[in-house]
Amino acid sequence: MCGIAGFIDFNRTSTSETLKSMTDELHHRGPDDSGCELFTGELATIGFGFRRLAIIDLSSGGHQPMTVPERDKWIIFNGEIYNYREIKAELIALGHKFISESDTEVILHSYEEWGINCLSRFIGMFGFALYDLEKAKVFIARDRAGIKPVYYYQTPKLFLFGSELKAFHKHPLFTKEINKAALPDFFRHGYIPAPATIFKNTYKLPQGNYLEIDLRTGKSGLHKYWDVFDFYNKPTLKISFDDALEQTESILKSAFKYRMIADVPLGVFLSGGYDSSCVAALLQGNSSHKIKTYTIGFADQKYNEATYSSAVAEYLGTEHHEYYCTEKEAMDIIPVLPQIYDEPFGDQSAIPTTLVCREARKHVTVALSADGGDELFAGYPRHLKSLSMINKRHKLPAFIAKAIGGVLPDGSIEDLSSPDRRGKLKSLLNSTNFIDNFRTVNDSYNSREIRELLKVEETGTAEVFNSTGNLLSDILAYEYKHYLADDILHKVDRASMSTSLEGREPFLDHRIVEFVAQLPDEYKMQNGRQKILLKEIVHKYLPVALMERPKMGFGIPLDSWFRSDLKDLFYEVMDFEKMERQNLFHVGKVRKMVDAYMDGKLENFQRLWLIFVFQQWYNRWMD
């Protein structure tokens, strides 16, 4: 796991000092080594910068930027190619010669052999930039699930790219102007969906895409090489439950085994829930030694999963490490959140995630998470709730639903302390699109509320989804493409890399979703039961009595802290005079929400938390 940063400057004014400054800003992503290469030519000045966290081939053979003997192709690469040994053997048979044991070198030779189509051969997570001098092109690619981040900034004469936005601030020509069109989506979702970012002219490279920049013309093109919707749009497999169970478990075992490849100590995050227990069970069941498992506990039993994970670890026989976090340790994370998350980010579980990463890093360099299980197998409570609500709506003939929506009076939204439930109902009735319905049910703020909160035009996402025509498939594909990539994976990448810990995601091997997407709905959810297939696999390794318990979120009691221990910090950040000068919020509405919160009358703390984290971010990056 590493960090990449660089530029393509058609004015040819960018310097090696600027490149080093951008690269060093990502020191936390790679404390073991660094490298910079500046290419000056008639077309552009190109900078490739790299920070290394050594995981595979710890020798100098893994140093980057890396080139081939002819020095006509260069690469900087963040991530892991888990099947690199198989690809390497194939390339050797084709005549390629290798000088290292690095998976980075395998990417270079794969590109030499198959061009950019080599992406389809990789099982892994990656964000890389590859410079082909002969073709005068730069390719920048991101893995299928979007595990590894890639950002870019583009103006007619300057192109910046990197693993995190903070690197761009070190280039003197980067203009940090807020992208107001992205603010409504942040307050809807708690994150900014790809390809937008908080800044103008600045983008996230979407999952399963690569950019091709032609240095001769200065033009760039975005190319999609993989889309999860393609697999949900395939015909449902005619397969028995037992065969589906066997094949799913086989793919899981292969995927999990790949994620154990490392030349450094490795562990597994274990919450005691089905997803992490599945990872631990399958790995321990196929290991001759005790795997290391880690969990974080809290004194407040409402948020404490440590007792469950301890019981699972004892049954499986893992080497278990349990760390109990104090309230002060959790509180101390909050002021540094905008440094870790250099774009506004509203997922409260970023705090305990950062804490467990810090603890794990004391023992290991690589940690396996279990993200993706809920998106694959329909495990979130909102999946059940949304299906129930949307199915009821679609039982109404479209003309009747629209008629009701048209005459239903708007509710008052003078006070945003209470959600606009009537507005959600109207939106649900007026749309027949499954994904729009799902977003309506689950958004933190709806469109009317956003217009009351923000002094910006409410535009929303322009992305058109290729609907499968199946409600559950549409929901799961959408969650995989956006919530998973833009919230969960963003959270885990920044939390882990802030401590120089590599996080791996065994459920996000693309072979799993490509298969599970085609399975019948009833193997995932039926009659109120969720994650049916995955639970049956886990029950082969762990007793049902040990596993069956209510699903817990990974959270902390922020809503009470800001009225007590963190009250001073809260008011310091929520500076109403500064907010007036920003001219982004209708500050009177924010004041009402704050007063309601302090009086214990705010219905949904997450809505106020989004304003708080935005203001924290603004204070760090815009002042």
Whole-angstrom distance, CA of residue 593 vs CA of residue 310: 40
Residue 133 CA: distances (Å) to CA of 64, 141, 215, 216, 601: 17, 17, 10, 11, 62
Which strands, in side-by-side order, build the sheet including 220-224?
A: 66-67, 73-81, 124-132, 137-142, 209-214, 220-224
Residue in the block written with tokens 């409402």: 302
Q: Six-digit token pair at 139?
A: 């390719």
- In sequence order, which residues have a C-beta less than 8 Å from that of residue 489 and are 6 or more positions away? 145, 146, 147, 371, 505, 508
- In sequence order, which residues have a C-beta less than 8 Å from that of residue 106 and are 6 or more positions away? 81, 84, 87, 88, 91, 98
Beta bridge partners of 153: 160, 202
Half-sphere exposure of 240 (CA within 13 A, CB side): 3
Kindly give the residue spans of alpha helices, DSSP state H, lying in 294-420.
306-316, 327-333, 337-340, 350-361, 373-377, 381-395, 398-407
Kindly give the residue spans of alpha helices, DSSP state H, lying in 166-273.
183-189, 228-232, 241-258
Q: Six-digit token pair at 558?
A: 């922020």
Closest CA to 219 of 119, 149, 136: 136
* Cβ atoms within 10 Å of 92's Cβ, excluding its own: 12
Q: Are the beta carbons of 335 and 561 closer than 8 angstroms?
A: no
Give the DSSP letter of residue 459. -
How long is the chain? 623
Give the DSSP letter of residue 260. T
Strands (E), 150-262: 151-155, 158-162, 202-204, 209-214, 220-224
Give the DSSP letter of residue 157. T
Triad 609, 613, 618: Cα angle to 5°: 145
Alpha-carbon torsion, ordered 279, 281, 282, 284, to 10 deg: 110
Q: Are the beta carbons of 47 and 6 closer than 8 angstroms?
A: yes
Residue 436 CA: distances (Å) to CA of 160, 172, 431, 616: 34, 41, 7, 30
Whole-angstrom distance, CA of residue 460 vs CA of residue 457: 9
Q: E strand or H helix at 295, and its extent?
A: strand 292-298
The gap between the terminal CA atoms of the chain, to the nearest Å, is 31
Report, as residue numbers or ranges, the catalytic residues: 2
